[in-house]
Structure 1
Amino acid sequence: MKDFSDAAFSPEVIALMTQALDAAVSALPEPVSSTHVNLLAQAVLRAAKAGERDVAALQRLALLELQLMPRM
């Protein structure tokens, strides 16, 4: 996972980020790999660090970023 050591979030924002990550993971077809979960989590962290607080927007941004990632 990328370094997010300089990021700090309130408990309320962490709850929003958790909801967004759970929703994003749930939107993926099974089986969901740990790599995909990590990539979604990083995207949620980046968006929240940039100031996004809407759960649906955090979810959409994470899924969009995952979709745009080059295939390995």
Structure 2
Amino acid sequence: MLLAVKDRGFESAAYSPEVIEIMSAALAAAIESLPEPVSATQVHQLAESILNSAGRGERDVAALTRMALVELRITPHH
């Protein structure tokens, strides 16, 4: 079973269950490292970053987590 993703700015992509587990673990770790309260916007930005990085072939949970947190930190907040 593959998860197909088509979202704003994303090309269609399909992820295997193993990659979905890796992305889920990275997202959970990133969220857990943020101070409470964590906003839905922050979760969305982290998820987008992880999807982008996984789409480029990154499969290391720690690397996905770090990249997502760095991108969240440098993203302008409105």
The TM-score by the shorter chain falls in which range? over 0.9
Task: Name the CA distance, whole Å, in 2 between partners of 1:30 and 1:9.
Answer: 30
More strand by share: 2
More helix by share: 1
The 5-angstrom pairing of residues 42-57 of structure 1 reads: 42-57=48-63
TM-score scaled by length of structure 2: 0.87
Count, aligned residues: 72
Task: Name the CA distance, whole Å, in 2 between partners of 1:50 and 1:5.
Answer: 11
Q: Alignment RMSD, CA only?
A: 1.2
User: Unaligned stretches of 5+ in structure 2?
Assistant: 1-6
Report the AA paired with residue 52 of structure 2.
R
Point out the structure with max Rg over C-alpha: 2
4+ long deviations beyond 4 Å: none
TM-score scaled by length of structure 1: 0.94
Q: Which residue of 2 aligns with 1:70?
A: 76
Q: Percent identity?
A: 54
Task: Name the CA distance, whole Å, in 2 between partners of 1:28 and 1:2.
Answer: 25
Task: Name the CA distance, whole Å, in 2 between partners of 1:5 and 1:47.
Answer: 13
